[in-house]
Amino acid sequence: MTPLLDFRSDTRTAPDRAMRAAMAGAEVGDDAYGDDPRVLELEAAGARLLGKEAALFLPSSTMANLVAVLAAAPAPGTRLLTGAETHLARMEGEGVRRFARVELVELAQRDDGAPEPAALAGALRAGAGRPAVLSLENTCMLHHGNALAPADLAPLVELGRAHGCPVHLDGARLANAAVALGLPVAELAAPADSVTFCLAKGLGAPVGSLLCADADFVARARELRLQLGGTMHQSGVLAAAALEGLERLDRLAEDHAVAAALAEGLASVPGARVPRPPRRTNIVTVKLNGVDAGDLHERLADRGVLVLPLPDGNVRFVVHREHRPQAVPLVVRALAEAAIQ
């Protein structure tokens, strides 16, 4: 029997021994009263890492994005401009429409995942006079995890700013982008007013996300988190695990190396097409000639390899710290067998 190899998401890591020890030993307070020492430490560390004045610990990146939109949106009916193939548009659209009462405006994206500057310019023109918020994403989840460099995003930020838009960055995997580009996380975060930074993806914490911004924005976000029911009490237990995760940022390079080897191996299978993002991080997608994504997902699952079928016909592998380089040949063999089934 093949060992089960789960590549569905980098959220699928269990806290390891060091994280569990940190959780067990965490001194706690009550974050609703602002006196949980590990939460305060995590928020300070996050703010430093992202180069912002302050940070807020939230239960998920979905809530961090919603709170960011609410804190930035000056009025109901604000237009939220974001790439059509972003997590926000695809997975959180209904939530932000319902709870933030924004109008979601989906922008066409280039192959590298950055919104087309012309699409943004057109959307800004069409909505002239109405308040708008621009949300960017890095890495680009549905563009094979591509990492965008500051130069890729600068013209978009400039365009948004020229129209008075606050700029949010959904940086759920910003740590992966920073490691892939060899740049400090803060440099990638600098152009944005607010940044979502997930602790439960590649960094491997069991729960949580940080929303980082200036002190006023974070104070508004803190109030919104309370109203949404996202304020937690002895959350120092979770923050302690997340602090461990922050210590391991550099080891994301190992995940990227495994992903690169996986991409190369999968591409060698006859009939397989492996899209090549300009700057790959920890995500590999593959399409098999004549086999739809749901079917390929089943064929691989029969061989002990779990992947996520995507609407674009690819299946997705996300590499995380529980994957060893030795898994690569096993996965390549599973795809080769699936291809001739």
The answer to whether 56 and 65 have CB atoms below 8 angstroms apart is no
Give least dist CB 137 to ligand PLP, A: 5
Looking at the Cβ atoms of 73 and 291, the one nearer to ligand PLP is 73
- Find the shortest distance in angstroms from Cβ 13 to ligand PLP: 13
CA–CA separation, 44 and 286 (whole Å): 39
Please choose, from the candidates 209, 243, 241, the residue with its C-alpha nearest in 3D space to the C-alpha of residue 55. Answer: 209
Identity of the residue, 124 or 207, whose beta carbon is nearer to ligand PLP in the bound complex: 207
Residue 175: CB partners within 8 Å, gap ≥ 6?
185, 197, 202, 203, 249, 252
Residue 78 or 146 with smaller CB distance to ligand PLP = 146
In the complex, minimum distance from the CB of residue 115 to ligand PLP, in angstroms, rounded to a whole number:
14
- CA end-to-end span of the chain, whole Å? 18
CA–CA separation, 187 vs 173, rounded Å? 14
- What values do phi and psi take at 57, rounded to 5? -90, 125
Structure-token match 């990492």, residue found? 147
- In the complex, which residues of this chain contact ligand PLP (CB under 6 A)? 60-62, 87, 137, 141, 170, 172-173, 198, 200, 209
In residues, how long is the chain? 341
Q: Give me the least distance between CB of 172 and ligand PLP, in Å please.
A: 3
Which of 60/146 has CB closer to ligand PLP?
60
The Cα–Cα gap between 258 and 16 comes to 20
Cβ-based nearer residue to ligand PLP, 137 or 254: 137
CB of 59 to ligand PLP, least distance (A): 8
Give strand pairing partners of 103. 79
Q: Is 210 or 335 the residue whose CB approaches ligand PLP more closely?
A: 210
Which residue, 20, 8, 10, is CA-closest to 237? 20
- How far, rounded to the nearest angstrom, does the alpha carbon of residue 301 sit from its chain's CA centroid? 25
If the CB atoms of residues 230 and 265 are measured against ligand PLP, the closer one turns out to be 230
CB of 287 to ligand PLP, least distance (A): 21
Q: How far is the CB of 92 from ligand PLP (least distance, A)?
A: 7
- Taking the complex as a whole, the smallest distance from the CB of residue 281 to ligand PLP amounts, in Å, to 11
> Which lies closer to ligand PLP via its Cβ, residue 208 or residue 236?
208
Give 257's contacts (C-beta < 8 A, 6+ positions apart): 325
CB 104 within 8 A of CB 142: no
* 86 closest CA partner among 119, 52, 49: 119
Please report how close the Cβ of residue 27 comes to ligand PLP at its closest, in angstroms.
26
Nearer to ligand PLP, 55 or 172 (CB): 172
CA 303, chain centre distance (Å): 28
Whether omega for the bond prior to residue 285 falls within 30 degrees of 0, making it cis, is no
In sequence order, which ranges of 190-234 are alpha helices (DSSP H)?
Answer: 215-227
